Amino acid sequence: MGLACVVMPAAKEAAGAAQILVLNAGSSSLKVGLFDAASLAQVGQGAVDWSSGAADDQTDHGVALRDLLAPYDLAPITAVGHRVVHGGTRYQTSVRIDATVKATISDLVALAPLHNPAALAGMAAAAALLPGVPQVAAFDTAFHSTLAPSAYLYGVPYVWYTAWGVRRFGFHGLSHAYCAGRAAELLGRPPADLRLVICHLGNGCSLAAVAAGRSVDTTMGFTPLDGVMMGTRSGAVDPGLLIHLLAHGYLDVPTLDHALNYEAGLKGIAGGSGDVREVLAARAAGDGLARLALDVYTARIRAGIGAMVAALGGLDALVFTAGVGEHAHEMRAEIVQPLAWLGATLDEAANSTVVADGDVAAPASRVRVLVLHTREDLMVARETRRVLADTGSAASPLSREVKAAP
């Protein structure tokens, strides 16, 4: 198990003050952050990655959490917040964790098999290390609970929705919610006045149309496999293609599932790697398939942006965030340059040198183009404090009116 722990200088100064521990548990990693409960200033962080190992998740998360928190005094930790990818239709806001919440998260494992089991392992690890400390689940799906039925229903028999819960959920909600608020701050405008398309581009990619701080459309759907092409995930494909592959015996269900999640996207077309940095390097070296992969990738993202703008009826700012969105200036340029018709024009110098958070649009650009460093951990800390305060006085960006289908 490879361990990387960072002890921030502020940790010692904050000793004794109440703190919130934030956990982002993945299938092969665990990220933690410590936040001052009053100011939400970050006072510590760390990460562990055991992707090369094959040990049991429960054991790994427990050992990892203990090791990551070893440099810190645990006494000030008064709450634990968890990023949970899938809350289904049951949880459309952040909630305090109890046995019922954990059972529901477990029931949704089939829809998020890489994420929900890890979140449960993180909860067990935190309970073992910090017995009696309250825990809160902040769901990535919650931000998209404001989607109208016209946005979340699929064109399939309606009984699939009523009987089986088949609908679009949307993901990366903590990131989209944070960026919506941060974009308003950076632009000096109230969220109610803004129409945003937020491009969360990492190994997983999703776009969200946000109007007045609320999600009105998004590219991911029933699972995080839908939408634009990603690092190793296919994104949307013709369902008839999948039926064809299965019906003719070219692939069985497990092989197809693995291929769509781990062998598709940039990796599938370019071969070798789904890491944008490696694909860019291969293209620079003259690799034709790498060039093709990036052409498909940027085309799908531009098409997604167009769909999100249509849902909004206009656009005030285009936001790029996450690993690729924040750091790959070449990708931003290749996505935005053909969108001049939309009113988005880059300042090439600003785009190539920006250190998030910043505006990289040309001065005369009608649509602003922002590069933001997303803070899912901070969103979880905010939600944890809000849920445990339970005053009802502060509306949460993840606590919204839900529009149910008839």
Residues acting as catalytic residues: 140
Q: Which of 50, 51, 49, 42 is nearest to 7 (CA)?
A: 42
Q: Do β-strands 95-96 and 77-84 pair in parallel, antiparallel, or remain unpaired?
A: unpaired
Cα–Cα distance for residue pair 273/300, rounded to 1 Å: 19
Query: What one-letter code names the amino acid at 292?
Result: L
Q: Is 190 exposed, middle or buried (0-12, 13-18, 19+ CB in 10 A)?
A: exposed
Report whether 312 contacts 211 (CB < 8 A).
yes
What region does 23 belong to: left with phi over 0, alpha with psi -120 to 50, or beta? beta
Q: Which of 310, 318, 326, 313 is nearest to 343 (CA)?
A: 318
Cα–Cα distance for residue pair 246/248, rounded to 1 Å: 6
Q: Which of 45, 121, 132, 29 is nearest to 82 (CA)?
A: 121
Cα–Cα distance for residue pair 112/57, rounded to 1 Å: 15
- Tell whether the torsion through CA atoms of 248, 254, 255 and 257 is positive or negative: positive
Cα–Cα distance for residue pair 263/202, rounded to 1 Å: 16
Task: Write the DSSP assignment of 113-129 as a string of letters.
Answer: TTTHHHHHHHHHHHHHH
Structure tokens at 250: 């070219």
End-to-end CA distance of the chain: 50
Contacts of 324 by beta carbon, 8 Å cutoff, 6+ apart: 201, 202, 205, 276, 331
Kindly report whether the peptide bond that precedes residue 357 is cis, defined as omega within 30 degrees of 0.
Answer: yes
Q: Where are the beta strands (DSSP E) in 246-322?
A: 317-321
Cα–Cα distance for residue pair 75/294, rounded to 1 Å: 49
Report whether 217 contacts 307 (CB < 8 A).
yes
What phi and psi values does residue 211 have, to the nearest 5 degrees?
A: -120, 125
